[in-house]
Structure 1
């Protein structure tokens, strides 16, 4: 069960990283808004996992 959660987290992280890189390439820079949004999503996911 734990292995499945780790796999899911890694998949989510890789997907988010790909999306983040794609956005960075489209914008031609690292926007503070995108960076903050990525951090909030990651933080929310970690918080959600710790609640269970």
Structure 2
């Protein structure tokens, strides 16, 4: 008795939908990380401005 052949698989989507993983408890949210990065950039800019003034002898 011959074995029936299986249908050929087509490459592509498996039907699963990828989801954004929930953040872990205690981990900062994406919005908070973005806000913190922006604040850090501003802090570094201000610190750089202060260094420039200190080098000029206007401390």
Task: Tell me the TM-score normalized by structure 1.
Answer: 0.51
Which structure is higher in RCO with an 8 Å CA cutoff and minimum separation 6?
1
**Cross-structure match for 1:11:** 41
Q: Tell me which protein shows more helix as a share of its residues.
A: 1
Cα offset for 1:29?
4.2
Cα offset for 1:14?
0.4
The number of equivalent residue pairs is 29
Gaps of 5+ in 1: 31-52
Q: How big is the alpha-carbon RMSD for the aligned residues of Structure 1 and Structure 2?
A: 1.0
Moved over 2 A (4+): none
Gaps of 5+ in 2: 1-30
Tell which structure's C-alpha radius of gyration is larger: 2
